[in-house]
Amino acid sequence: MKEYSCYLFDADGTLFDTAELIYQSFLYSCKKYGDRTIGRPEVYSSIGLTLRTQFERYLGPQDPDVMDTIVTDHMDYQLSIYTRYLKAFPGVVEALADLRSRNKKMGIVTSRKMQSLGLYLKETGMYDFFDVLVTPDETEKHKPNPEPVEKALELLGADPGESVYIGDAVFDIECGRNAGVDTVFVSWSLTGVDTLSVEATYVIDRMEQLYQ
């Protein structure tokens, strides 16, 4: 595939495997605050959206103060169990190291908040590879709106035509395309490429294909 000067990555489902961690967290929260047992397919289909958007889907509209309580409790629970489930996908750390050795600009564009993002990146040995981390705190609008990718490009001083966004969800591919950058869909996604509403520029089976 084409070589780029700037590589932007989604985090969950792209760099590290948090699917079961995310599911167990929503299982806890939806039972506690909605008295419902949520299934994995419903959770997996919404990974990539912000927590508040996900909870609105699962529990319906909430008073802002109630939503704050739910989100805080949800993340406290997730942080209490993450070491049981968190792991880097095979070959990811090595591929990031190779891109760094080639002096590429690198950033993360994610719907995960900074507290857990930083912790999970450090736990998996990825934190030092990235020049910028764009989380929901840095933008008013979120994926699939282009603002998060545009913010990363601005911070990095990167040309959209020389940049690519790598992700595992339709929201990532839509966000990248809306921002005018090429996109890569990773085949280890929980959702198939046939679920994409827009076509990704590339589909890869291994992270090292980014520079082959």
Please list the alpha-helical segments (H only) found in the chain: 19-34, 40-44, 51-59, 64-81, 92-101, 114-123, 147-156, 170-178
What residues have CB less than 8 Å from 143, skipping those under 6 apart?
48, 49, 109, 111, 171, 172, 174, 175
- Is 168 among the residues known to form the active site? no
Half-sphere exposure for 68 (CA within 13 Å, toward CB):
3
38: its two tokens = 């949520």
Separation CA 133–CA 114 (nearest Å): 8
Task: Indicate which residues carry an active-site annotation.
Answer: 10
